[in-house]
Structure formats: C-alpha cells, structure tokens
A and B are shown apart, each in its own frame.
Chain A
C-alpha cells in the first residue's frame, strides 16, 4: 500500500498577478487528519483550491494515489473522491436544505442510491431533516456549515478538504463541528483541514503543516507542530525567520 494519499511537488500557483504559492512540497498520508495552519494570506485556501481544481498550478504536480491532478476539472477531481467545503459559505441560498444536500450527489445518477445516502445523512445531521424544506439562506451561519458538511458526504468521498470550517461558530457548534470531523475520520476518510483555531485542530490532527508566505515552513505530528516554540511567534505576528534569528 502506498504511504501517501496526496503528494504536493513544487506547487506554484496564483491568480494572475504574482505567485501566491511559491513551491509547496508535502505529503498527506491516508487516513487521519492533516491540519494546515498559517497566518492570513499565507496561501492556505489557495493551496486547497489547487487540490479541488478551482486554481490550476502554474508549475508543479499534485498526485492523488499516484495520479497527477493538475489540469483536471473540479468535476473530474470530485469523481476521484475528493470533495471540498470552501471557506466562504457555498450553499445555494434559494434552494431548500434538502435540495442542497441532494446536490452533493449531483454526480450520482442512481436515484435510489441518492435516497439511501440522504437517509443516512439525515441521521448523522438532524438539522437536514428538521429544516429539510426551508431555504438554505434562512439558516444561521453555523447551521449552514453543518449542512455543507452533510452535503460533502453525499458522494462518500475518500478525501475531505475543509477550509476553516470553524469560522464564526459558537463554542457549542464548534464542538459539534470538531466531533463531526472526528466522525468522518473514524469512518475512514482522510481529512485535509485548514484551521485558524490552531490549538484545537492540531490536537486532533495526526499531521500538522505550517504554511508561511506561500511555502511550507514546518511539518510534523500535530503535537510537534503545536508545541514548536516558533509557532507562537508566527501567530503573534512575527515570521519564523524572525523567531529563528538569535536574540541580542
């Protein structure tokens, strides 16, 4: 069995003006949670978008189970079992909660399979049943996040990419959210997570990756990254380079 699920090799990407990712190399192992942390604007979301096909790298390769994803459309990447919940809310506000969740299985043409999965999802996420016929736009931010989680599981993905899922959640919903991530992991899915809530996320994560200014500055187990003295400096606004510099 291969030891890595996703391999980033020299990934350079941006939005037309200058590179945001400046040569990213790291590996995601199958199973478990890999958590990417880093300051705002360091390119975390951009990195996730290169996996889901929303941003096409200018250079480098991204291998998923040995196959290069670069150049594939988001649809083809989804077909390979990779699903992304983006940082911004992505429900279709004018459609109902149930319609949104069903859209998660847009690629599955067998209606019976979709109905079965929907039944399972309803049990995992009670809100999907409770608010089934309400417009998604009428839900609170936290409730929308849960529905997005529900939707992303409709294809039974192998790799789940979550971009700052905890943003704007109250402590109780936050707990539910982290519980849901653990549940996905325990069901055998691999999670690639970006979190500002670094402490909590790294505690749960098997692997931690620190991204700074478009480059990987540190990788290790979740605990190693969490207890690295340089991380504090990074989050207090300095950079790792400053932290490494000997103090006078």
Chain B
C-alpha cells in the first residue's frame, strides 16, 4: 500500500461520502421526527437524477441550474407522498407499516421510471463532468469537488435550519417527543410533512451528482438504499453529523479495500466495519443511548 492510494481513498471518502451523507440526511431526519423508515429514499435519488436528465436532454438545462427546478419538484413530490401515503399511518405499528408502504411507493416510482426511460443505463453530461485537476499525485474531478461543496452547503443549511430557526426548534422538539411537542403548540403533522418534503428535496442535489458520477437506471435504487440505510445505522439514527462521518467512512473503506485487495471485497469490508461498530456501540456512532420513551 502506498501513500498516494491512501490519500486518494481519503479524498474519495470525503468528496463522495459527503454526497451520500446528504442523501442519507433526508432518511435520518424523517426517521427521527416521524418514526418512518423511508425505503423509497433510494428511488427518490434516482428519480431526481432522471429529472435532471430530462431537463438536460429536452431543454438543454445545465445540471446545476436544473437544481433550481428539481429541488422544489422533489420537495413537492415528497409532500404529496407524505400526505397521501404516510400521514395515514398511526399508532405504535407505524414504523413497521411504513416499511411496507414506502416499499410500495418505491416499486411504483421505479416501475414508472423503467417505463418512461427504459432500463438502459444513462449518465448526466456537462462540460465539467470529465474534467479534473491534480494536486501532487491526486486527481480531483470537477464534478466530485462540486458535489462535495454542494453537499457541504446543503448539510450546513439543514444544520442551520435545525439549530437556529423556529421551524428547527419544532423539528427538534418533535424529534424528541411528539406528545410533548404537541402540548407546547407545535403542529407535529405539519412538521412531519415538511420534514418529509425536505428529506426528498435533498435528493435533488444528491441525485444529480450521483447521476453525473455514475451510469444509472431505475434499478440503481437497490444499491443506493442499502448504502443509505447502512449510513444512518452506522452514524446513528437522527444524527446529521453521524451521517456525514458514516458516509465518509463507507466510501473510504470501500476504496481502500478496493486498492489493497479487490473491489469485489469493498462492500463486504464496509459491512464488517458496520457490524464491529454496532457491537461496540449499538446506537451507532452518534446515536442517543436512550431510546425514545413512548
């Protein structure tokens, strides 16, 4: 193993891991506030990537400019899905039910995408996509750096929203205890709907970067959701910082193992680390020890 490979893996970990963390932040917020496990998050990413694709192919809209359209679009799609499917789930069984319901939503979206776009792989294009610069012996792809900056910006904005705004207070209160939140006058239903919308909205940027750095089709959602779920389990449910660290660790380990042994072992190695961490800290890296009191 040489230093360049190590640095290169660290670079990938940080640049790409942050983008995965952004996608996972939606999942972790939704779980924290609503006790809903949104299996459709992976397919939201793919849907967002296809939205960018459609804008690019039909209207020649640049990927980054397109975010101004795809981000609100994903927010609205999230809000509608929450109102139609998720808001009906009530009572102590709703976490389990949410897995079934969001799986149905996933299949619905995936099937539609498959029909509309066919199952051939596509990749998002832009003059900057193939370009890169070099520092020392390390290559930095423009799109990866831009993805990192975008993810850092949006995660920072989410963090600011959570800790510095009135809406953030209502999210954190709902996250801690829905009944107590309701008793101080927080509209927990509305907070849930908006949180679900935000969780979907962050996939617009995540999906665009994913689509520009990977060839994808409708069934890419399987790989995505397993990555996102493991990120939030490793990072700790409900924690943005945890998601960031876990995203970086996941990509870094995958890269390192790919270089040292073989890319075949990348995913396996990550899961080994996941299991070891969970044996040591079952609540994940940043998760709260005490589970929510019902």
B184 within 8 A of A: yes
Instruction: Count how many chain B residues have C-beta atoms less than 8 Å from C-beta atoms of the other chain.
Output: 17
A43 within 8 A of B: no
CA distance A93 to B173 in the complex (A): 10
Known: A88-B293, A92-B176, A93-B176. A54 touches B169 (CB 8 A): no
CA distance A107 to B183 in the complex (A): 11
Structural contact, B184 and A106, CB atoms closer than 8 A = yes
A52 within 8 A of B: yes
Contact with A along B170-201 (1 / 0, CB 8 A): 10110011011011111100000000000000
Structural contact, B183 and A52, CB atoms closer than 8 A = yes
Contact with B along A79-98 (1 / 0, CB 8 A): 10001101010111111000
Q: How far is the CB of B276 from chain A (nearest CB, A)?
A: 28
Known: A94-B288, A103-B169. 8 other contacts (CB 8 A): A16-B91, A73-B187, A88-B293, A90-B177, A92-B172, A92-B180, A106-B186, A107-B185
Range, interface on chain A: 20 to 34
Structural contact, A78 and B179, CB atoms closer than 8 A = no
Known: A16-B91, A88-B293, A106-B169. A78 touches B177 (CB 8 A): no
CA distance A107 to B181 in the complex (A): 12
Query: A16 — which chain B residues lie within 8 A by C-beta?
Result: 91
- A residues with a Cβ closer than 8 A to B are 16, 52-54, 73-75, 78-79, 83-84, 86, 88, 90-95, 103-104, 106-107, 151, 155
Query: A78 — which chain B residues lie within 8 A by C-beta?
Result: 183-185
CA distance A52 to B185 in the complex (A): 11
Known: A16-B91, A92-B176. A104 touches B184 (CB 8 A): yes
Question: Which of A53, A79, A83, A103 is close to B173, meaning CB atoms less than 8 Å apart?
Answer: A103
Question: Which of A75, A79, A93, A155 is close to B186, meaning CB atoms less than 8 Å apart?
Answer: A75
Question: Which of A52, A79, A104, A106 is close to B170, meaning CB atoms less than 8 Å apart?
Answer: A106
CA distance A79 to B182 in the complex (A): 12
Query: A86 — which chain B residues lie within 8 A by C-beta?
Result: 179-180, 183
**What are 10 A-B contacts defined by CB distance under 8 Å?**
A52-B183, A53-B182, A54-B179, A73-B187, A75-B187, A84-B183, A92-B173, A92-B177, A94-B288, A103-B173
Instruction: Give 5 nearest A-B pairs by CB, closest first.
Output: A90-B180, A74-B182, A107-B185, A78-B185, A75-B185
